[in-house]
A = this chain, B = another copy of it.
Amino acid sequence: MPIPAPNFDPPFNILRLSHVELVVKDLAISRSFYVDTLGLQVTDETDERIYLRAMEERGHHCLVLKKGAKPQVGELAFKVFDEAHLEQGAAWFKSQDLPVEWVDRPYQSKTFCTRDPHGVPLEFYARMDRLQPIHQQYALYKGVKPLRIDHFNCFSPNVDESVAFYNQLGFRVTEYTEDEATGNLWAAWTHRKGGVHDIAFTNGRGPRLHHLAFWVPTPLNIIDLLDLMATTGYVGNIERGPGRHGISNAFFLYILDPDGHRTEIYCSDYQTIDPDLEAIRWDLKDPQRQTLWGAPAPKSWFEHGSLFHGASVRDADLTASPIIAP
C-alpha cells in the first residue's frame, strides 16, 4: 500500500486552501490577463499589489499579484478553523524544526509563514476580511466566470515524502499514480475541503508550482475563454486542453499568464467527504489517467513550473521518460 492511512486527527484543523501570491513583472499586463480576460474581481490595488477574488468567494482575496523583478511564487496560503488552531499549527511546525514566522498580512488576522520539508513556502491564518456576496451580481461575471480557487499543484522531487508530510496535517489522498515497477508514488491528489484536491503533487524537479486552479460553472465557460484568448492576443498562452483528465474526472484547460505562471480552469470533480472513501489508483503506464480522450500533453506541461521564493530546487528522486510516462 503506497499511500498512508488517512489521518483524521491532525495537530490542527486546516479548512481549505485559501490563496497564493504570484510575483509578476508588470501589474498592468497581469491585470489585463487575470481581470479583463479571466474575469477575477479586484478587491484592492496599490502600486505594488492587486488583490483578487472569484465570484462566489466572500473572503477578501484568493490571488495576490505582487510586482517584482523576477516572476516567482510566494506562500501557498491555507485557512485554519480559528485562532486556537492557528497557535497549535505554529507550535506543530516548530516541533518539526520547521521555520515559523509571524507576519502582518493586509486583510488577514494573525498569520504565520513556514515551509514544508522540501521548502515550499506556506502561510496559515484563521480570519480574513469578509466582503459582500457578489455571486448573484450577474453583471459582474465575465471571462471564464471563475467561481472559486480550487487547488494548488506542485512539482515535488519526492512525492512519497510530500504525501507523508501533508498526510500528517490531515490531507487525504483521493487519487494517485503509482510507479508499478518501484511501488513509489508518481503523483497524488490530496484534499481537506471535500473535493478531489486542495493540493496535489507530481513527480519532477522541485519544489515548483505546477499550477493553481479555478473552478468554473460548465465546460462552455472554458470554451468561451478559449475563444476570447484566441482572438485577443493570448493564443500563445493556451498551453493544453480543453480535455478531460482521467484522474479527478476534471474537464480542464491549462493557460499561462504573461509571466509563465500556469493556471488550470476546470469543472467536474466529485465529493470526497466520506472517511471510508477509497483512493483511486492509476498506473503510470495508463495514458488515459492524464487525458481520458487520449490526446497527449505538450512537453512544456511536463517541464515548466514556477519557482517558489527562497526555495532550493533539486531533481526528482524518481525518473521516467517524460514522453512515455509522465
B-binding residues in A (CB < 8 A): 8, 15-16, 56, 58-59, 79, 81-82, 127, 130, 133, 135-139, 141, 147-148, 193-194, 217-220, 223-224, 226-232, 235-236, 238, 242, 244, 246, 249, 251, 268, 270-271, 273-278, 280, 288, 292-295
Contacts and interface: CB of A to CB of B under 8 A. Distances in A.
Contact of A294 (B235, B276, B277): B235
Given A217-B268, A220-B218, A220-B219, A193 B293 contact: no
Nearest to A294: B235
A238 B275 contact: no
B230 A219 contact: no
The residue in A16, A135, A141, A276 that gathers the most chain B C-beta atoms within 10 A of its C-beta is A276
A294 B228 contact: no
Interface of chain A, main secondary structure: loop
27 contacts: A15-B273, A15-B275, A16-B271, A59-B274, A127-B276, A135-B270, A136-B249, A138-B227, A138-B230, A138-B231, A139-B231, A139-B232, A147-B270, A148-B270, A193-B271, A194-B194, A194-B273, A219-B219, A223-B244, A226-B293, A227-B292, A230-B244, A235-B293, A238-B293, A238-B294, A238-B295, A242-B242
3 nearest A-B residue pairs (beta carbon): A138-B227, A56-B270, A218-B218
B139 A230 contact: no
A79 B8 CA distance: 16
Nearest to A236: B294
B133 A273 contact: no
Contacts of A218: 217-220
